[in-house]
Structure 1
Amino acid sequence: MSKVIEAAVAQLSQKVTTFDGTAKFIIEDEGSILMDETGVRAGDGEADVTMTATADVFRAILDGEMNPTMAYMSGKLAVDGSIPMAMKVGAALS
């Protein structure tokens, strides 16, 4: 597992302890993270929503420097799947 994924899992775990649904984050050139009712972990699998971004964009979102909705609207964050679930993820990260 890459250091970027390890750091993102740790930071996401502090923000979100449980999540009603399944979300996958793909960090380009690094790997993927799953978030669901059991918590946050590195890995891949089926998800209600998949969000893809560069490591820099993902880090900025986690640090609160970039709003997830604005990242999506500006094309920096790709969303595949349930938009309402993506909105729940955004709210959980706020």
Structure 2
Amino acid sequence: MSEVVQAYVDALQAKAQGQIRGTAKLVIAGEGSVMLDESGARAGDADADVVLIASDAIFRDILSGDQNPVMAYMSGKLKVEGNAQRALKVSSILTG
């Protein structure tokens, strides 16, 4: 597991725990992916109800509050595959 993926797991474990129904996957371009579910965050690449795809820089900006996830999606910096409602829920966890 890359250091980048591990940093996301560490940052999102407490935020995601008990907050997500189903599964979400963050695909960090060129680094790997993080699975989020009600048990928290872990490195992995399994099927998910919603997949968010972006660069490390964009995800870092979303986590820090410097990038609005909806605006990142609208501008093409963040791609979403799957359930849009779940994507919004994941975005609120990332920015929370």
Shared topology, TM-score over 0.5? yes
CA drift at 1:81? 0.5
| Pair 1:2 & 2:2 matched | yes
Equivalence map 1:1-94=2 (5 Å): 1-18=1-18, 19-94=20-95
Identity of matched residues, % = 50
For residue 67 of structure 2, give the secondary structure of its aligned residue in structure 1: coil
For residue 71 of structure 1, give the secondary structure of its aligned residue in structure 2: helix
Q: Distance in 2 between matches of 1:69 and 1:2?
A: 27
Deviations 1:7-43 (A, max 9, x none): 1111112322222121000000000000001110000
Aligned residues: 94
Q: TM-score, normalised by structure 2?
A: 0.91
* Segments ≥4 residues shifted beyond 6 Å: none
- In the alignment, structure 1 segments of 5+ residues that lack a partner are none
For residue 10 of structure 2, give the secondary structure of its aligned residue in structure 1: helix
Cα RMSD of the aligned pairs, angstroms, is: 1.0
